[in-house]
Amino acid sequence: MGGNPFCPDLKGKVAVVTGGSRGLGREMVLGLAAAGADVVIASRKLPACEQVATEVVETHGRRALPVAFHVGRWEQAGELVERVYDHFGRVDVLVNNAGMSPTYSSVAEVSEELFDKVLGVNLKGPFRLTALIGSRMAREGGGSIVNVSSMGAVKPRGDILPYAAAKAGLNALTVGFAREFGPTVRCNAIMAGTFLTDVSKAWDSEAFAARAQQFALRRGGRPEEIVGTALYLASDASSFTTGAVIPVDGGQP
């Protein structure tokens, strides 16, 4: 930790963020870089990753590696790990942020392809990447793993059931990996509520405004409001926190 407890010191650390090219992932990448970390931006579209990498270098003067990566493809996890370790030689922080929640008209219309894709991105991919990187962290001195879950895991609605089931599984993995890789590697989760990322532009704004009135803070989250919790969990500020699933949701009922 640095002198300011609100600004965790991650100098000399390397952080990998999946889904790091947009939304909450982009904000966490920039927050980690601001705290001194070199970053890996891993997401499906390489040009978007490269854009964020340029921003990291120009704004924060940190090293940044953009990598095209599909988290739902098992074999790509190993490829990503090898590339990152070849480039930086270490990983200190892994943020499993990539996710997807496609819409469907009814639960009976959910196809096997959709179901498998949602579980692949939100559950299978984080399992494989955490297994690979967490094992190396444990052998090489430790690290911190941060999973980005969802309040849907504990408060599921009928229109997000495959996603909610996957995130509930991710919560379980968080606790299990904390035990598997302790005491040197910590694994925690941020259970995110409703954040106003680019995706929210397609929502019915009036319907959401009415729903948000049920939240304690009466609003959705700004993407940058995820960063404080992410930095806490990534850094030594949370040195006695592991296996925790922390809601960051504006007080959803």
Total residue count of the chain as it appears in this document = 253
Contact present, 95 and 15 (Cβ < 8 Å): yes
Neighbours of 78 (CB within 10 A): 12
Q: Which residue in the list 21, 43, 163, 235 is annotated as catalytic?
A: 163
Is 135 an active-site residue?
Answer: no
Phi-psi map region of 141: left, alpha, beta (phi>0 left; psi -120 to 50 alpha): left
Instruction: Establish whether 117 is a catalytic residue.
Output: no
Cα 115-120-126 angle, rounded to 5 deg? 145
Tokens of residue 198, six digits: 């680019």
| Active-site pick, 21, 43, 104, 167 | 167
104 catalytic per annotation: no
d(CA 181, CA 123): 18
**H/E/C letters for each residue in 54-114?**
HHHHHHHCCCEEEEECCCCCHHHHHHHHHHHHHHHCCCCEEEECCCCCCCCCCHHHCCHHH
Tokens of 49: 């990753």
Q: Say how many Å lie between the first and final Cα of the chain, rounded.
A: 34
> Which is catalytic among the residues 101, 144, 149, 235?
149
- Tell me the catalytic residues: 149, 163, 167
